[in-house]
Amino acid sequence: MTHTYTQLLYHLVWSTKNREPKINEEFQERLYQYLGGTFRNTGAMCIEIGGMTDHLHILARIPPKISIANLVRDTKIASTKWLQENVLRYQSFAWQEGYGAFSVSRSNIYTS
């Protein structure tokens, strides 16, 4: 459909396995950049990424053709592999099963 318009915004949250504090400042920014690239490669767009040592938050625009469940699953798999291969001391890194996904109104997005 050439005249279709959507603006589907989601707040996604997921944790490290057992909520272990494994996301440290040493590689946090690189991880966020990697996650953003993973989303872009699927056609989704990360607007903001942040979090704590044991979980992360992503504000993303996701086209309707992309399943949120598949996007999160594939992103978690790819980022786990990337961390294990590129951040050697975290060979045992894993994400916890599941995630949270919440729709967000455009009016609730603050820009600076």
**Residue 93: inside a domain, yes or no?**
yes
Q: Note down the domain range covering 30.
A: 9-103
pLDDT in tens, 11-56: 999 999 999 999 988 889 999 999 999 999 999 999 999 999 999 9
Total domains present in the chain: 1
- In the chain, the amino acid numbered 37 is G
Query: Checking DSSP bridges between strand 55-61 and strand 9-15, what pairing results, if any?
Result: antiparallel
55, two tokens:
């979980």
Distance of alpha carbon 5 from alpha carbon 98, whole angstroms: 29
Burial (CB < 10 A; 0-12, 13-18, 19+), residue 51, is: middle
**Residue 4: inside a domain, yes or no?**
no
**Residue 1: inside a domain, yes or no?**
no
Q: What is the pLDDT of residue 1?
A: 55
pLDDT in tens, 51-76: 999 999 999 999 999 999 999 999 99
**Residue 47: inside a domain, yes or no?**
yes
CATH, residue 16: 3.30.70.1290
100: pLDDT strictly greater than 90: yes
92: pLDDT strictly greater than 90: no
